[in-house]
Structure 1
């Protein structure tokens, strides 16, 4: 936790408050940082295919890169 101006708040909670989004959505969104590198590269190159959508990724994202294919 970070203490600033006499207030103890987790960075994630500050983002949730500032952006006005649900904590559960923020948690799922942060899971996208665990995407396998080849999937990230495909998305950045616009070659990810129609089956790769934000909704689908947020539904269930395995932690292991090899299970993400």
Structure 2
């Protein structure tokens, strides 16, 4: 019997460099969004305490 040659698809493993680049990109993107969120919260907190110090707002309920 003659040996039959069958073309098989070669499966390649994951590319380490490509995985590192994708992970680094996603990590930096998520970190940037997280940092922007915290900068926004810090700005809002600072604005609240500035208004409180100036007397524009109060945390005490006004009695009528």
TM-score range, shorter chain: under 0.3
Compute the TM-score of the two structures, normalised by the length of structure 2. 0.26
Higher relative contact order (CA 8 A, sep 6+): 1
Compute the TM-score of the two structures, normalised by the length of structure 1. 0.25
Considering only CA atoms, is the larger Rg found in Structure 1 or Structure 2?
Answer: 2
